[in-house]
Structure 1
Amino acid sequence: MQNAFTGAALDRVGDSRRRDEAWLAAQLEHPGARAVVAGDRGFRIADGRLELVALSELNGGQTPLLLGLDEAGPVFAFDEEPARDGRVPMVGSGGVRGEPPVNASGDRVPLRQAAARLSRADGGLAAYTAALLNWHRRHRYCSACGHASDLTEGGLTRVCPNCGTEHHPRTDPVVIMLVEDGDRLLLGRQAAWPTGRYSALAGFVEPGESLEEAVAREVLEEAGVRVGTVSYISSQPWPFPASLMLGFTATYEGGEPTIGDEELQDVRWFTRSELEHAAAQAESDNWGSPGDPGGELALPPRLAIARRLIEHWLAD
């Protein structure tokens, strides 16, 4: 499965070169140095692609962060917004909840739309850029002592000059799963979703928990259903702001679907024929206008791993 937000073709330079200050300085001065430019409104685009802007042309904003190298030279991530304290928007969201901005202009693409409008490689590069910039936006201060921290290793580490604590970009693992019982799948919906939309169940992995245990716990908590065999399918970066979606299928063992917490508005079984019909419909651009459980079944957008898991199941 080739999921959205994957496919960034870069040498990420995850080695000793990042700890070589002279080498890093040379990358900033490299004649081929370019940057993915992003801000609150979205990513800078040109001719339907992410625009890689010459680093020498950029002013203001924050310190460029080294993403890696391609055949033309170093590629950086550049946050065009000034550094701010407090709760700040996620890159490309236009708001603190991660919804597409209403004021996106023609030269910017919000992060959610990047995977749909750009190539898979550009979508992966946008996801990498957003994840790194979002982490720096929200981790400017040391979590151990509260002192302002410093950038090191081209942006892959922050170090506190006061207590010496090193901080690294975090990734939050999320299990997302289809519960299968023969020719039917268990899906749920949140109240904020458009009318008729259902998706795979999902939840964050808790401390001291295996992925398989997280799948079983989340299904039981959210839907009151017990599962047996858990099988891994694929993964997807989900930079809203820093999740990694880990996709699974799980076999039904018992229990009647019942809403177990406030996260879901409804949970129920769907037949293969219902899912095949829904998968054949044109995709809606409606991301979050609140609806209700009624109406024709609508599946998640194709950029979401939940949709890819359903399509993978239908094709199996």
Structure 2
Amino acid sequence: MAPGFTGSPLDRADHIRHDAEALAAVRGDWRARLLRLDGFDPVVSDDGRLEWTSLADAPDEAELIFLGLLDGKPHFAAAIPGLRTGPGRPPHMFALLDRLRPEEAGTYAAARSVLDWHSRHQFCANCGEQTAMFRAGWGRLCPICSTEHFPRTDPVVIMIAEHDGRALVGRGPNWPPGRFSALAGFMEPGESIEEAVAREIFEEAGVHVSNVRYVASQPWPFPSQLMMACVAEAEDDVITLDTRELQEAIWISRADIKRSLAGDPDAPMVAPPHFAIAHTLLTRWANEA
């Protein structure tokens, strides 16, 4: 089971980003396509595909980002000056992602993350001067101090603790009724993945863990995280909840997780959506035995 936002057929063609003549050629290619967006949201066709249009439809003020090649054809996204995203994930995004084919979601994730990065990183972190796009949109360059800036990815650990055949899951404030998921948190400077997993589980649920094992990863483009899914062994099942982070945390059996993943209305939790790596993590753990 592949995690959501992975499996894009996009050939990122990094060599073109460094070659001015090659970049001019793909921009001038009559087959070149531009990603259709509503702000930062995908425009999705009835069959679950991203919609594309001609480069001629790009606004005059837009800067083109070369996403890569699909079936040998150049594909671009338009960065529009002044366009900003709101905090977090838009509330209507789940419905859009439910419609998108998995491989299409992967292409969208790349486009959305880099567009969002440009919208929020207009100025040099070294000297404060306004920067300019370079490397076909995969970087920004300061004209004063020559500092190069590149799209960042923030590492996040997402994990379950296991104890006596059960997994620890939690729910945040204002989540949909009954929805539970794996615990998660940003890695801090100077931490390994294993250390971050142990710290986050203890901070949020008061559970000490060890023997952390990595399961899978996925990009999460809201705005640009790398989610690293893990399982850890809990020393005991006593929960001490941090109510600033979680509204509730419970231990749940493999059988009940399988019922939840199958959409059983009588299951003790509502499972995470299929495109979230928490869904992948719970599925793989539930099927281990």
Instruction: Place the TM-score, normalised by the shorter chain, in its bin.
Output: over 0.9
Q: Give the conservation status (yes or no) of the 8 Å contact 1:5–1:124.
A: yes
Does residue 4 (structure 1) correspond to residue 4 (structure 2)? The answer is: yes
Distance 2:213 2:268 in 1: 29
RMSD: 2.0
- Residue 78 of structure 1 corresponds to 78
- Secondary structure at the counterpart of residue 46 of structure 1: coil
Q: Give the conservation status (yes or no) of the 8 Å contact 1:225–1:254.
A: yes
Q: Could you tell me which amino acid in structure 1 is paired with residue 54 of structure 2?
A: A
Out of 241-250 and 261-270, give the one that drifted further: 261-270
Deviation readout 1:83-120 (Å, 9 max, x if unpaired) = 128xx31xxxxx4332234xxxxxxxx4x444321211
Q: After TM superposition, what 4+ stretches of structure 1 lie above 4 angstroms from structure 2?
A: none
Q: Could you tell me which amino acid in structure 2 is paired with residue 241 of structure 1?
A: P
- Secondary structure at the counterpart of residue 267 of structure 1: strand
Unmatched 5+ residue regions in structure 1?
A: 90-94, 102-109, 284-294
- Residue 96 of structure 1 corresponds to 87
TM-score normalised over the length of structure 1: 0.85
Distance 2:150 2:241 in 1: 37
**Following TM superposition, by how much is the alpha carbon of 1:59 offset from its aligned partner in structure 2, in angstroms?**
3.0
Q: Give the conservation status (yes or no) of the 8 Å contact 1:61–1:78.
A: no
- Residue 297 of structure 1 corresponds to 269
Q: For residues 282 and 256 of structure 1, do their structure 2 counterparts lie closer, same or farther at Cα, with a shift above 3 Å needed?
A: closer
Deviation readout 1:186-224 (Å, 9 max, x if unpaired) = 111111111221111110010111101100111111111
Q: Give the conservation status (yes or no) of the 8 Å contact 2:40–2:112.
A: no
- Secondary structure at the counterpart of residue 195 of structure 2: helix
Distance 1:115 1:99 in 2: 11
Map 1:125-136; keep pairs closer than 5 Å: 125-136=107-118
Q: Give the conservation status (yes or no) of the 8 Å contact 1:149–1:158.
A: yes
Distance 1:31 1:282 in 2: 50
Q: For residues 77 and 303 of structure 1, do their structure 2 counterparts lie closer, same or farther at Cα, with a shift above 3 Å needed?
A: same
Q: 1:314 aligns with which of 266, 286, 289?
A: 286
Q: 2:190 aligns with which of 208, 212, 226?
A: 208
Distance 2:244 2:57 in 1: 49
Count of matched residue pairs: 286
Q: Could you tell me which amino acid in structure 2 is paired with residue 97 of structure 1?
A: G
TM-score normalised over the length of structure 2: 0.92
Out of 246-255 and 156-165, give the one that drifted further: 246-255
Identity %, equivalent residues? 41
Map 1:35-46; keep pairs closer than 5 Å: 35-40=34-39, 42-46=41-45
Distance 1:73 1:278 in 2: 41
